[in-house]
Amino acid sequence: MAEEERAIRDIVKRVQDGWNANSGQQFAEPFADDADYVIVNAVHVKGREAIGAGHQQIFDAVYKGSNNTLTVEHVRFIRPDVAIAHVLANLKFNPGGGPQEASARSTWVLSKEGGEWRIAAFQNTPLAQFGE
């Protein structure tokens, strides 16, 4: 499974690179055509095209020039062709009021079809200090 885990880690890197290039299309490319994406505000987005378009909107606005560092915390294979990855995101951005940072933990469900891994589902949860 080491080779399969490397492939999944490569997908995480590709998503990070798409974010840092401020390219919605590049960001969304590793997602399945019919992927499910739940944003930090609980909005559910369906499909690679919508994921890419939505991200392009934020890259052109509040997250323009932002930098996101994604760190794989854990990969677990449910079956040889299905895996769950937990990924920590550290986002740096400047929405006009000065530099800001935000962190989130996401759960990725990945499936391998036709020899290629794709993100089938993604749930993003912001990290907050206890008591906030």
What pLDDT digit, counting tens, does each position of 39-68 carry? 988 999 999 999 999 999 999 999 999 999
Positive or negative torsion for Cα 69, 26, 58, 42: negative
The ranges assigned to domains in the chain are 2-126
What pLDDT digit, counting tens, does each position of 95-127 carry? 777 788 999 999 999 999 999 999 999 999 999
The domain made up of 2-126 is a member of CATH 1.20.120.80: no
Distance CA 122, CA 27 (A): 13
